[in-house]
Amino acid sequence: MSAAPLLDVADVHKAYRLPRPRPFAAHGFKPALSGVSFAVIAGRSFGVVGESGSGKSTLARIALALDRPDAGAVRLEGRSLFDLGRRDLRAQRAHMQMIFQDPFGSLDPRMRVERIIAEPLAAQGGVSRAERRARVAAQLQAVGLRPGDAQNYPHEFSGGQRQRIAIARALITRPKLVIADEPVSALDVSVQAQALNLMTDLMRDAGVTFLLISHDLAVVAHICETTAVMFRGKIVEAGPTAALFASPAHPYTRELVDATPRLDRAPKAAAPLSAPPAPASGRGCPYAPRCPQARPRCGEDAPALTEAGEGRRVACWFPLG
């Protein structure tokens, strides 16, 4: 029997309440996640890709138990995070940390680097000041900075160095899972490569498993063995990263792959939007209005995510060959 997954996300739903359109009117709701399920195996980093508004960041916050879903479950090593009390959840968070998108906004400018990196240790408690300083120095060296940088403030560092500080903070508790939400999107291209190589080294040397959230397919392909593609709050395709990007089964995955710049091919022209619009009931496939090969059934019934062989799953009535 295979081992239990490190992180198990099961049928998660989340909707946000909208402002009232007029006084005394009922609130509307905007769905962010609609039945998302996947599992992350220890030692095998997992990527989630999709355009802005697809629900990726909401998923990241729920996976870390920062937000509560409307329905569904999130389990870390078999323990349901939303069934734990506050004390047990705090202890469980020692095994999972997050790297945020913005290296400028995620670090408190009034705090020295030593205090920033040691924050997760302070929240857990039970660590002496001497041990905190020693572990901060070790983490700074692990991410390619000097131990003496602990006494500086965030404004004294470049964007790439700040993201290294954020990575050091995420790793200070020696977590088993790190959730990285667009960790390199705010960095220059040359600095992105440094950060990605650092994450790869941490996977190999420290045994860290990443749940990587990104809109950049090249970033995910560099880090993750398995990838899920999200569109409007649903996973439309999932499977081994190399196979998924080399031969997409869902038209939306194909659209993402074709939109990724590559030096070995000319840009492809956008496919015409020949599909019928989705019905007002919302029963049809959410991608149907943009799909160049949509058929009447696509506007009537939403396909479920089903097995497609070789570890692939796809939610499409007429998957690509």
pLDDT digit string (tens) for 35-65? 999 999 998 999 999 998 899 999 999 999 9
More confident of the two residues 75 and 87: 75
Lowest mean pLDDT among 116-125, 173-182, 231-240: 116-125
Which run of H or of E encompasses 22? none
pLDDT digit string (tens) for 245-301? 999 999 999 999 988 765 455 555 544 444 344 444 457 898 999 898 889 999 889
How many CB atoms lie under 10 A from the CB of residue 277? Answer: 11
For domain 7-246, give the CATH number. Answer: 3.40.50.300
Q: For residues 185 and 101, is the Cβ–Cβ distance under 8 A?
A: yes
Task: Report d(CA 245, CA 263) in Å as an integer.
Answer: 16
Domain positions in the chain are 7-246, 262-321
DSSP letter assigned to residue 182 = S
What's the gap between Cα 242 and its chain centre? 18
Residue type, position 105, single letter: G
